[in-house]
A = this chain, B = another copy of it.
Amino acid sequence: MTTVIQSLDTIREVIIAALRAHGADADNAAAVARTLVAAEADGCQTHGLFRVAGYCRSMASGKVNGAAKPSVTRLGPGAVRVNGDGGWSSLPLEASYDPLAEAAAETGVAAAAIVNMFHYAALWPEVEAMARRGYVALACTAYKPVVAPFGGNMPFYGTDPLAFAWPRGPHGSDTDPVVFDFATSAIARGEVQVAMRDGHQMAPGTGLDKNGNPTTDPAEILDGMMLPFGGYKGSLIMMMVELLCSSLIGEQFSFEAGETDVEDGGPARGGEFLLAIDPTRFAGDGWAEHGERFFARLGAIDGVHIPGDRRYQNRRQTPVDGCSVPLALWAEVEALAGHG
């Protein structure tokens, strides 16, 4: 595959131009660009430039409000709601961080309900942001119905990502938080698409055909449904994610999003549940050192990696080396930006 090397600044400029050309105002374009550039910087190509076309199509179809002005409401001492005004998730999420941190500092634990928005990004930015403020963070969101519950034979759950971050020290500490962020489906939809393109079979237990029969054929899975990670236990985690980011906070379940989405190639409207816990409140001052003893032992086990470390390594290196971008993708984003 032919690739080109681009600087993060150049990537940011073309993303902003593409989003602006398809209806985003300056604030939303800048916020989405921060999300996408962060993904490229961390080496998460699936959540960077690759998504620009979906962002553009979803504004062009009239589904997503590119000029959204999110509003923040304090629902209680430990409860924050951010109404995304029908726009992208980046701006309302950024608007939630400080109010959520303030609430968690006052109470010990607080949650933000981010609703009426479209999430087309990874979840690690929000949990990392809260962990850098000194809070243990958990986040989840739903999607559209593409995963069958364990034992079932029809798509009902989304890919339903779940993310968690642990701060390596109190606010002001410069150590990178430990972060994980994964789809609670057995596989990501992109992995199935890549397997189909490359003529590979999927692993057994990852998907069903449209009649609910097990298959390893990626085309049949795309036409059918994926399965939860981890069998019945993973399926229960998916149920929990659906409840936390839908009826708990007053937003759509994946099955409801499947009924309302216009299928323009972008995400469906949804909600996000973002929890922040103050470890100092619960454990006192020794919590960070205690956590470090755990990670020292965990990281010393042969074959075990501390989650997030590879992304942080990429983050230090990409400003120096630039990002390697497939030429066809770069041409697509340039065209969306009206360049050349």
Contact = CB atoms under 8 A, between A and B. Distances in A.
Interface of A: 75-79, 81, 106-111, 113, 136, 138, 148-154, 156, 164, 166, 178, 180, 182, 184, 212, 229-231, 233-234, 236-237, 239-240, 242-244, 246-250, 253, 255, 275, 277-279, 281-284, 286-288, 290-291, 293-294, 297-298, 301-305, 307
30 contacts: A75-B282, A76-B278, A76-B281, A77-B106, A78-B78, A79-B108, A79-B109, A79-B278, A107-B109, A109-B109, A109-B111, A109-B275, A111-B277, A113-B283, A152-B302, A154-B301, A178-B239, A229-B233, A230-B230, A239-B298, A239-B307, A242-B294, A243-B291, A247-B283, A247-B288, A249-B283, A250-B282, A250-B283, A250-B290, A255-B297
A136 B229 contact: no
A95 B100 CA distance: 29
A83 B151 CA distance: 41
Interface of A is mostly: mixed
A238 to B, nearest CB: 10
Given A243-B291, A275-B109, A180 B282 contact: no
User: Which 9 interchain pairs have the tightest Cβ spacing?
Assistant: A230-B230, A79-B108, A78-B107, A250-B283, A76-B108, A151-B303, A247-B290, A152-B301, A247-B291
Contacts of A282: 75, 79, 81, 111, 113, 248-250
Contacts of A149: 298, 301, 304
Contacts of A75: 108, 281-282
Contacts of A243: 136, 166, 291, 294
B294 A244 contact: no
A238 B325 CA distance: 35
Given A136-B244, A247-B294, 15 more contacts: A77-B78, A107-B109, A113-B283, A148-B301, A149-B304, A153-B301, A156-B298, A178-B239, A229-B230, A229-B231, A229-B233, A230-B234, A234-B234, A236-B307, A247-B283
A324 B253 CA distance: 41
Given A77-B107, A303-B152, A303-B153, A250 B286 contact: yes
Q: Which of A81, A151, A239 has the most chain B CB atoms closer than 10 A to its own CB?
A: A239
